Amino acid sequence: MGLIDRLDAGDPRALPRLLTLIENRDPAGLSALNVLYPRGGRAHVVGITGPPGSGKSTLVAALIAAIRASGRTVAVLAIDPSSPVTGGAVLGDRIRMMELHADPGVFIRSMASRGRVGGLAPAAAGAVAALDAAGFPIILVETVGTGQDGIDIITLAQTVVVVQVPGLGDGVQAIKAGQLEVGDLLVVNKCDLPGSETLARLLRQSAEDLGTEGWDVPVLPISAATGDGLPDLLGAIDRHRSYLLASGEGDRRSSAAASAAVMTGLRAAIERRIAAGSSEAIARLLDDVAARRMTPDSAVAGLLAALDRAPGSGHPVGDQRGG
Amino acid sequence: MTQPAPAAPGRPIRVLIAKPGLDGHDRGAKVLTRALRDAGFEVVYTGLFQTPEMIASAALQEDVDVIGLSILSGAHLALFPRIMEALRARGLDDVLVVAGGTIPGEDIPVVRDMGVAAVFGPGTSFAEIVEFLREHAPARDDAA
| The pLDDT of residue A111 is above 90 | yes
Q: How far apart are CA B105 and CA A14, in angstroms?
A: 38
What length does chain A have? 323
Distance set, CA A259 to CA A25, A46, A178, A266, A307 (Å): 20, 19, 21, 11, 21
> What's the gap between Cα A95 and its chain centre?
20
The reply to whether A90 touches chain B by the CB within 8 Å rule is: yes
Rounded to the nearest 10°, the torsion over CA A126, A132, A138, A142 is -10
Beta bridge partners of B85: none
H-type alpha helices, A24-135: 27-36, 56-69, 124-133
Binned at pLDDT 50, 70 and 90, residue A310 comes out as low
pTM: 0.89
pLDDT of residue A102: 79
Residue with the larger pLDDT of the pair A170 and B31: B31
Tell me the count of A-B CB pairs closer than 8 A.
102
Q: Are A183 and A51 in contact (CB under 8 A)?
A: no
- Can you tell me whether residue A94 is helix, strand or coil? helix
Three-state SS string over chain B comes to CCCCCCCCCCCCCEEEEECECCCCCCHHHHHHHHHHHHCCCEEEECCCCECHHHHHHHHHHHCCCEEEEEECCCCHHHHHHHHHHHHHHCCCCCCEEEEEECCCHHHHHHHHHCCCCEEECCCCCHHHHHHHHHHHCCCCCCCC
Closest chain A residue by Cα to residue B52? A101
Mutate to test the interface with B, among A91, A96, A100 (most CBs of B within 10 A): A91
- The mean per-residue pLDDT over the stretch A22-31 comes to 94
DSSP code of A82? B
ipTM: 0.89
- The mean per-residue pLDDT over the stretch A10-33 comes to 95
Domains of chain B: 16-41+68-101+113-135 (3.40.50.280)
pLDDT < 70: residue spans in chain B: 1-10, 143-144
State the burial class of residue B58 (Cβ atoms within 10 Å of its Cβ: 0-12, 13-18, 19+).
buried
Q: In A9-32, which positions are buried (b, 16+ CB within 10 angstroms) versus exposed (e)?
A: eeeebbbbbbbbbbbbbbebbeeb
| The pLDDT of residue A171 is above 80 | no
Q: How far is A192 from chain B (nearest CA, A)?
A: 25
Q: How far is B59 from chain A (nearest CA, A)?
A: 10
**Amino acid in position A37:** Y
pLDDT of residue A118: 85
Domains of chain A: 40-247 (3.40.50.300), 255-309 (no CATH)
Percent of chain A whose predicted confidence (pLDDT) is above 70: 91
- The mean per-residue pLDDT over the stretch A105-110 comes to 96
pLDDT of residue B1: 37
Beta bridge partners of A89: A82, B42
Chain A contact set for B42 (CB, 8 A): 82, 88-89, 91, 112
